[in-house]
Amino acid sequence: MEDEVDRLVAAWRRERPDLDVEPLEVLSRVSRLARHLDRARRLAFAEHSLEPWEFDVLTALRRAGDPYQLSPGQLLTQTLVTSGTMTNRIDRLAKSGLVERLPDPNDRRGVLVRLTGEGRHRADGALAGLLAQERAILAELSSGQRGELAGLLRQLTAPFDNTPG
């Protein structure tokens, strides 16, 4: 079965036979898949009236476990945004009733961000929708193929994920 990347690679091989275009065979497919995944994610989140950034913050809190709260600094670490961006996001989520700010009992000047019941409901629904979209994307692969692909992608991404900064 031929895909768009096969046609792209063939064209580059014809036009630039002096270049090794083999990386395109893998990374162009990863890039195209990322765009399809982004569309699927946005659809799953929109069905629950969430933006991708809202999903990221709400699910970071949801993964924290009961009582579903983290400090703003912990949220920064998990979502990889700046302090100013996180403050803005927390403000907007609090205004929407999806999170609440509480005083940190261990730091008089600190706050904790806690998921509200509505925030938990929306995060759980969006996650279920996302997983349905992702299962559909992976439907052509067997369980073994999915495991193999996950291992190969882990091998490629781990150096990026484990490098400071």
d(CA 165, CA 161): 9
Spell out a b/e string for 94-126, using b for 16 or more CB atoms within 10 Å of the CB, else e.
eeeebbbeeeeeeeeeeebbbbbeebbebbebb
* pLDDT band at residue 113 under the 50/70/90 scheme: very high
Amino acid at 22: E
> What pTM, to 2 d.p., does this model score?
0.83
What are the tens digits of pLDDT across the range 48-107?
999 999 999 999 999 999 999 999 999 998 888 889 999 999 999 999 999 999 998 888
pLDDT value of residue 109: 87
Closest among 100, 132, 98 to 113, alpha carbons compared: 100
Say which DSSP state 70 is in.
Answer: E
Distances (CA, A) of 41 to 46, 55, 116: 8, 10, 22
